[in-house]
Structure 1
């Protein structure tokens, strides 16, 4: 940190970037930046013009746009930005066009330089067929060249190979008589789900959250009762605790099930797990709740940790939002049509919260009768008023009117940025709930925090409370127990009174304040946000007609991925 701070002071880079650079580039960051100043583009938030400014300050005014290090770094930067949008691959032609726009003299040479570094892979996408492809005079379509960051491209291939292996090595976990006995008396949808879990290596189960929890615990209990080694894995420790117990079944977070461990060689922002191909799980059946949250990297870790012959059931709501990270493994697996997919029959909505959420899933934003104030709509004229209303609801209205304590209220918003995003909301909530100077890297004892990038101690989206800190790091009380977050990893934490919907997914709270600005809305996101509330939902409506329009028309943006094709190869 000292070397980085000195380097940045010398070149005019703002001091706060040092902590992010240390976390992303690891030990020796200052030396590597002196050798190749465009490595600064690997630090989240740094843009090409800023990296160019840093390079000129370090190397002198003669540094030109054609420096091979610049072109190589820009290729990886463009692909990383695409990955932040969920894409695992990008057409090579799009990358070349983007390089031309930032004045790289020889874009093709820049791509070749990036490929030589092995952090970027060239991938050939075979074209699909349409009716015109079968015309007698039609020219055969040309394969499309795509590029992808090696980290995500290799993870996607590993996930596909894992799904294929589990499918090919699977045998029924119980004999026909035992399966028939367990199915007796079950409704048809639960019977199909149980059969898929016990007889096929990989399966998908879809349904509303309440229906899924009952079905998953029922399958797990039935299997464990017959001696099948079974585990249920949820996104976080907090969400696992909310699932309840099943006799003879391990109910835990997926993160904890995979046994995370400290490893200095881990890619920044990722975690090394103890379970994997060399040390697989001692389980026969794994049921993963909220599996739509799996990005390709965590999905690859999961399937590699499943031993030959194990059965994996991935469970999620229909049309759930994609994961926060790159890829969409669950949707791609379903699209491949290589595994059974069971849809649970939806039970009638229970109460105003269930009625509203189910209507949103169907594309309709309705007014519901809520005599117990289960749902309250709070209009706001703009982002400033939305933040003010949210703070008022958390600190006064909900605790006073409904008796729900502040610690059981969760604010959610579509994104971190913007005047009504989680960054602005957290600043306002901290000022009201736990004012302080940010003594420990911007945090104070009593601050609620969320894991924004996985830690060995806690999964993405896990929340905790800061207990203290010092030179050793930040002391945080997580649901799974106390942890010390090292200074180099503290940048993976954010204030957590307000979470993005992606961070909050999978963990229901007694009360939720959903702040809805006009930007970033989609039907799956709104349904996911509303579905987080257990007893009460306050909707801070700052989107005007855009909210109803998003619910009616707004799907999530498409993602460019390969998993669906890889699974069937």
Structure 2
């Protein structure tokens, strides 16, 4: 690399199994939206809500004013708890913990203001809410389950007099599930004198635990109902002339119900489109699903192959019965996809909930191919379905041979995936390192790159440049970056709930009209919502849904993944780095990558040591049962 400053939810069937069951619905409502986008970057206030919502928001505002809660929290609380949020909070003030960003001391203060002397540390409502809060905090770290002993210890530190009773209260409300983790067999498992290990009790928020079980059941069903999609002679004909790795990938896709395909993004895309086109040519109903509509548009669809976003393929729809913050998909067990073969790109980004929806939407006998880079970053939401599926050794895994690097960007990406932050020769300034001494300078450099250096020196227009950072919060996070970029690119008063026409926005939590990570441009707004031009066309984002949008000149790596851009500015602070995250960020660039290096030696160390935090999940075990 060259040092320079120039240029610088659930489908109908899974809802039946879980969220629409009365008890599980309470869990979903409590958890809804808790993982929707970065909580340390406050969303812009939504446009003026409809009348019913206005009444609820007014009641909530009055309650918060009387209890000393900051007024800006009202919109978030209403979005999470629904129009009757004020009544629900009066009955159980600790429900405030379901609102992202609220901490236990704040909920305790609110409870004392609402209940007076009746609000004590032993209140069963407090203990129940703390159990779910602890599990949701664990889910933010990617865990779908947590040892019960850890939860009990945390409750003791929170001065809950009877932690076991608090756990039982959460279990009684079905907001939490108790799950038994059987011990693994070790070398001494058959020693006659060895004491058998006791099964470990695990706790999981119902929303994620049930989704993980549904995903496992879906994978098992697809494996058991699969039959070869084509006869041996046809498969042999399609394999003729293919290199061995592509031949193996084609065979796995056509002969097994679920398979995994790993490789560099360009290699995977070429293999997928080639196999999909060949399958369609044999009369198979075939589709390729990308993370976003923008990513799908970058794929050249072979004749007879549907190429779209996974979100759009599953047909999201509005459902008044859905929990706040949830998206319901029309495709599911009762209305499966009309497909024989489905490829999903960047499948490492699927959390357990979306993975469950996907598996249930595939009909019996369909073949599902999940594609990703080796060592890809885990999903932003809980779980690690693709890695767990591979670890279960129940499905074939094909890794494409590495092609010779096509240029400096490929050289760098391959080196990072291998654990080396290598210097690369970039005569065409495909890769540029921009040092920054502190977060403030990092933000300044990023703005300079986007608005001046890259368009002027490389001819890449501003609209084709995407800034990415590890997280939303912090002095060099996407919140600070977007504030600086808006001030330079589209200053304005925030006329429509903090947004102005011309603002770039990103979907931070799924919308009926767009997937997480989709970017668009605000064209207007009013009482009916925000007018946004997305890659698939114009849409009106309702006032209730507008809080799921963020300014999108800068996005988190988790939001950006799977959608490549001609130019990328990767801002690297010292916090939150890991090899998978860095590899994902650097791999987003098609023509040019500027790395704003504000991490010092922490960047090379993160790449060398991996740094990805482990996740506690159950899918690998569930698939084998």
Query: TM-score scaled to structure 1, two decimals?
Result: 0.99
Q: Distance in 2 between matches of 1:147 and 1:295?
A: 18
Which residue pairs with 2:460 in the alignment? Answer: 404
Q: 1:450 aligns with which of 487, 506, 514?
A: 506
Q: 1:420 aligns with which of 476, 481, 495?
A: 476
Q: 2:431 aligns with which of 367, 375, 384?
A: 375
Which residue pairs with 2:542 in the alignment? Answer: 486
Question: How far off is 1:11 after superposition?
Answer: 1.0
Matches within 5 A, 1:7-18: 7-18=63-74
Which residue pairs with 1:307 in the alignment? Answer: 363
Matches within 5 A, 1:208-227: 208-227=264-283
Query: TM-score scaled to structure 2, two decimals?
Result: 0.90
Which residue pairs with 1:280 in the alignment? Answer: 336
1:473 paired to 2:550? no
Q: Is the 8 A contact 1:275 1:281 kept in 2?
A: yes
Question: How far off is 1:5 after superposition?
Answer: 1.2
Matches within 5 A, 1:9-408: 9-408=65-464
Q: Distance in 1 between matches of 2:279 and 2:610?
A: 40
For residues 482-512 of structure 1, the C-alpha deviation after alignment (integer angstroms, 9 at most, x for no partner) is: 1111111111111111011000000000000
For residues 195-228 of structure 1, the C-alpha deviation after alignment (integer angstroms, 9 at most, x for no partner) is: 0000000000000001000000001000000000
Q: Is the 8 A contact 1:68 1:110 kept in 2?
A: yes
Moved more, 305-314 or 437-446: 437-446
Moved more, 210-219 or 131-140: 131-140
Question: How far off is 1:135 after superposition?
Answer: 2.2
What is the aligned length?
Answer: 569
SS of 2:188's equivalent in the other structure is helix
Q: 2:609 aligns with which of 553, 562, 565?
A: 553
Post-superposition, which runs of at least 4 consecutive aligned residues in structure 1 deviate over 3 A?
none
Q: Distance in 1 between matches of 2:265 and 2:131?
A: 41
Q: Distance in 1 between matches of 2:185 and 2:95?
A: 41
Q: Distance in 2 between matches of 1:441 and 1:51?
A: 27
Q: Is the 8 A contact 1:174 1:198 kept in 2?
A: yes
Q: Is the 8 A contact 1:156 1:562 kept in 2?
A: yes
Indicate the structure whose relative CO is greater, using CA pairs within 8 Å and at least 6 residues apart. Answer: 2
Q: Distance in 1 between matches of 2:614 and 2:321?
A: 33
RMSD: 0.8
Which residue pairs with 1:502 in the alignment? Answer: 558
Question: How far off is 1:467 after superposition?
Answer: 1.1
Q: Distance in 2 between matches of 1:62 and 1:175?
A: 72
Q: Distance in 2 between matches of 1:117 and 1:315?
A: 38
Which residue pairs with 1:519 in the alignment? Answer: 575
Question: How far off is 1:62 after superposition?
Answer: 4.0
Q: Is the 8 A contact 1:501 1:525 kept in 2?
A: yes
SS of 1:60's equivalent in the other structure is helix
Which residue pairs with 2:597 in the alignment? Answer: 541
Note the residue ranges of structure 1 that are not aligned, 5 or more in a row.
Answer: none
Which residue pairs with 2:59 in the alignment? Answer: 3
For residues 78-118 of structure 1, the C-alpha deviation after alignment (integer angstroms, 9 at most, x for no partner) is: 10111111100000000001111111111100000001111
SS of 1:356's equivalent in the other structure is helix
Q: Distance in 2 between matches of 1:119 and 1:38?
A: 14
Q: Is the 8 A contact 1:22 1:488 kept in 2?
A: no
Question: How far off is 1:270 after superposition?
Answer: 2.5
Note the residue ranges of structure 2 that are not aligned, 5 or more in a row.
Answer: 1-56
Q: Distance in 2 between matches of 1:374 and 1:514?
A: 13
Q: Is the 8 A contact 1:206 1:212 kept in 2?
A: yes
